[in-house]
Amino acid sequence: MSSASSQYHLSDELLQPVLAILDAYQDPYLLQGLVTAGCVTKLDIEGKRLQLGLCYPYPCQSLYRDTVMAITNKLAVLDAIDEVECEIDFQPAVISAGAVDPLPNVKQVIAVASGKGGVGKSTTSVNLALALAAEGAKVGILDADIYGPSMPIMLGVPDFNPVSPDGKMMTAATAHGIAAQSIGFMLGGDEAAVWRGPMAAGALAQLLNETLWPELDYLVIDMPPGTGDIQLTLSQKVPVSGAVIVTTPQDIALADAKKGVSMFQKVNIPVLGIVENMSFHLCSECGHKEHLFGEDGGVKMAQRYGVPLLGQLPLKLNIREDVDKGIPTVVADSEGDVANIYKEIARRVGAQLALTQTQSVVSISISDDE
């Protein structure tokens, strides 16, 4: 990514030191200077007031104030500048998925997967989607768990029924500022989807392609556990930009998570990183930390396969209670510690997606004896 120099309206004597200072400020997620990362879109000056424009390729609006303060302090060493006026924007890249046609109105598709059930994948999916929205993105979520849809309850819209304005396409629900679609909206409360694999895969394709999605920066897909028909359908027919793998630290979950990584490798979908859920339990009475399911399993897995560890989430009662109430933690306690962890994960996911445009995807090698 590179900024157009024609948008820089500074004298040659001032331009070079300003660019040097901005590029010395390393973005904590892109791990590049702001100029190298292509974030600097405008440089102008009126008197001693510098007008700076920044555009990030990942959502991070909760950090805007700290970024402006840090940059202003660095530019203060220049005698020609007394004040910095900074405008910050966010614009994700539109990722090409090769032979797979892009989805109308959707810029990037993120698959959230796990090798096995019970690791908190759906809870992670819905909070990731809401965290991306909290950081300034337009977000939708698709509940691809055909056999066990949970989004209607988790998002607090169990009674939503899609309608079809034209007899072909159907509406999505809106909950907590994001768009949502689920097979659960079309089934009765106790009704089960008793379908064979191809039927379930076909239902997923319909949900995805026949929903009237609004303009979205990101569509998060909550995948069913495992590596079967639905996962293959998604990888072959949907322009997935990248995948997030959710696991717990225990050995059996890690073993299954490796299969998820291997599956995405085989279908050439970048693995954006690993979320370690239920990493530890923090006693509410004494503050003692216990690693109930083992320690640092996700860390070691990320290191072994050369992918980022996106975050570690605690085992806390309120995370489960919040989704049961239909108000996920990122909304229920938006400034709390857990919500901030999810926002950190969201920023890392967005940045990893941006980096896949500028560097080769890390090759992940998995041997049979691991």
Binding-site residues for ATP, please?
A: 115-122
- Taking the C-alpha atoms of residue 185 and residue 188, their distance in angstroms, rounded to an integer, is 8
Domain spanning 106-355, CATH class: alpha beta
Which of the four pLDDT bands, split at 50, 70 and 90, describes residue 252? low
Chain Cα centroid distance, residue 100: 21
What residues have CB less than 8 Å from 46, skipping those under 6 apart?
A: none
**How confident is the model over 238-262, as a mean pLDDT?**
77
- Is residue 112 a contact partner of residue 244, using CB atoms and an 8 Å limit? yes
For the chain, give every domain's residue range: 5-90, 106-355
| pTM recorded for the entire structure | 0.89
Amino acid at 101: D
Which of the four pLDDT bands, split at 50, 70 and 90, describes residue 88? very high
| Options 3.30.300.130, 3.40.50.300, 3.10.310.70, 3.30.1490.100; CATH of 5-90 | 3.30.300.130
What residues have CB less than 8 Å from 129, skipping those under 6 apart?
A: 139, 140, 141, 178, 218, 220
**Each residue of 56-67: b (16+ CB within 10 Å) or e?**
bbbbbbbbbeeb
232 has pLDDT over 80: no
Same fold, 5-90 and 106-355: no
Binding-site residues, please?
A: 115-122
**How confident is the model over 332-354, as a mean pLDDT?**
96
By CB atoms closer than 10 A (0-12, 13-18, 19+), residue 79 is exposed
- Taking the C-alpha atoms of residue 218 and residue 321, their distance in angstroms, rounded to an integer, is 26
341 has pLDDT over 90: yes
Which of the four pLDDT bands, split at 50, 70 and 90, describes residue 193? low
Query: What is the tens place of the pLDDT at every residue in 3-25?
Result: 444 578 888 889 999 999 999 99
At residue 31, the pLDDT reads 94
**How confident is the model over 347-363, as a mean pLDDT?**
76
